[in-house]
Amino acid sequence: MPELPEVETIRRGLGRRLHNFRIHGVDVLHKSTIASGGGPTLFRESLIGAWIGIWQRRGKYLIAQLEDRHNSACTSKRGLLVVHLRMTGQLLWQERAKPVCHHTRVRIWDVSGREIRFVDVRSFGKMWWVPPRTAVGTVIASFRSLGPEPFSDAFSTTYLVEQLQQSKRPIKVALLDQRLVAGVGNIYADESLFQARVLPQSACYQLSRQRVNCLRLSLINVLKQGIKAGGTTFRDFRNLEGVNGNYLSQAWVYRRNNQPCRICGTHICRTYLAGRSSHWCPRCQT
């Protein structure tokens, strides 16, 4: 599943490509992709004619402001377009018309034929139209429970200590909980735990304030590295132009099981916690 760095990479690409993009047509090829009330019909009617404004990211959600631009000095709200890529979703930019692949779910194009195309092999990804003056959380229930953004002031050491001190679950499992911190997934949880020298199996309540602070800083650092590398590709993720992310080539532990640790040479281990694979160095992480 694309995580914060991958989604942020796509958000930046959307901001560059969809400047002055007015929606001329919408084609929903897979109706279950549209998760908002009213289904594909209302989704299509609500988007056509709108200009796409600023793109934002919240956790793993992409959010576009839809606008009416009556003149250069006046814009009015047309609601929001929200996208979650889930496991295998991709947003791809098409400068000109190209054949539609079997996994294309939604097409959105302007009058000149430039197109943003939602492709999803496993069809888990979703799109929503959120009406004007409507909170996103009233349309998407899981949005209401998202934890703070890792780069925000709210994601402080004090906050993290308070959230972890009563929990007996493994710290790796906690980091994957979107209610604790928004946008973190398997890749960057493993990488941040390695950089903080914390075992993924460590019980949350056993971590000292000093180690929690180190983990917080490591997580922020790893996510920034991931964004700088354009995210991680090991199967489906591509940026808006269809280019792979490069973070995996510099990963410390993720998907490097049975390979030597880049620091100490010990073979990287892999186990499963709460059904998710976890990678760590048995010597560097204690």
Catalytic annotation, residues: 2-3, 60, 276
Amino acid letter at 168?
Answer: K
Q: What letter does residue 101 receive in the DSSP assignment?
A: P
Kindly state the tokens that stand for 236.
Answer: 């489906």
Strand partners, 91: 118
Return d(Cα 105, Cα 262) in angstroms, integer: 41
SS3 167: coil
Strands 115-120 and 104-109, sheet pairing: antiparallel
Return d(Cα 257, Cα 10) in angstroms, integer: 29
Return d(Cα 155, Cα 147) in angstroms, integer: 9
Cα-Cα end-to-end distance for the chain: 28
Cα–Cα distances (Å) from 276 to 4, 39, 190, in that order, read 18, 33, 11
In degrees and rounded to multiples of 5, residue 70 shows phi and psi of: -70, -35
CB 92 within 8 A of CB 116: yes
* Length of the chain as a residue count: 286
Strand partners, 69: 75
CB 113 within 8 A of CB 144: no
